[in-house]
Amino acid sequence: MLAINTKPMFPCPVCTGPREVKLTKKSKPYLTCDACGVQVFVRGPDGISEFRRLLESTSEETLLSRLNYMEQRYRLTCPKCGKKFWIAPQLVRTSGFSGEMKGFRCPEKGCGSVVAWNNEEAK
């Protein structure tokens, strides 16, 4: 996706923050995310052409707004320990009495908190 300042941008695969796409000495695209410590290198002619096609065909607003929506909806923050986590089926917490979904268990070891689907702490 192209940013307003014409530098190609692409989201970090871990934190989804927009990162500048840079080129190696051999003109192969890569991006780094200092916050996550992630480096993504696109190798091979087929991968490079597909990555370039993706950069050209996806507008920044569309991709970033879609990722932002997904993060707001499917990434929760534990009110007890502050850890952010993506929802997953294995984290679902249900009521032992009614089977009703209570929320999602925090995956942080030893935390034990449950975050309700509407982002409020479950009891």
Give the mean model confidence (pLDDT) for residues 66-75: 77
Q: Whole domain around residue 36: which residue ranges?
A: 9-74
The answer to whether position 3 is within a domain reads no
Residue 40 shares a structural domain with residue 57: yes
The answer to whether position 123 is within a domain reads no
Of 62 and 81, the one with more pLDDT? 81
pLDDT averaged over the chain?
82
Residue 69 shares a structural domain with residue 83: no
Residue linked to tokens 């190609």: 8
The pLDDT value recorded for residue 96 is 84
Q: How far apart are CA 52 and CA 81, in angstroms?
A: 40
pLDDT reading at 59 higher than 80: no
The pLDDT value recorded for residue 58 is 60
**Are the C-beta atoms of residues 98 and 105 closer than 8 Å to each other?**
no
pLDDT reading at 67 higher than 80: no
Residue 85 shares a structural domain with residue 110: yes
pLDDT reading at 57 higher than 60: yes
The pLDDT value recorded for residue 12 is 84
Q: How far apart are CA 1 and CA 57, in angstroms?
A: 7
**Are the C-beta atoms of residues 91 and 103 closer than 8 Å to each other?**
no
The pLDDT value recorded for residue 17 is 81
Q: How far apart are CA 31 and CA 42, in angstroms?
A: 9
How many percent of the chain have pLDDT more than 90?
29
**Are the C-beta atoms of residues 62 and 69 closer than 8 Å to each other?**
no
- pLDDT tens for residues 12-53? 888 878 889 999 999 999 999 998 899 999 999 999 998 888
The pLDDT value recorded for residue 2 is 42
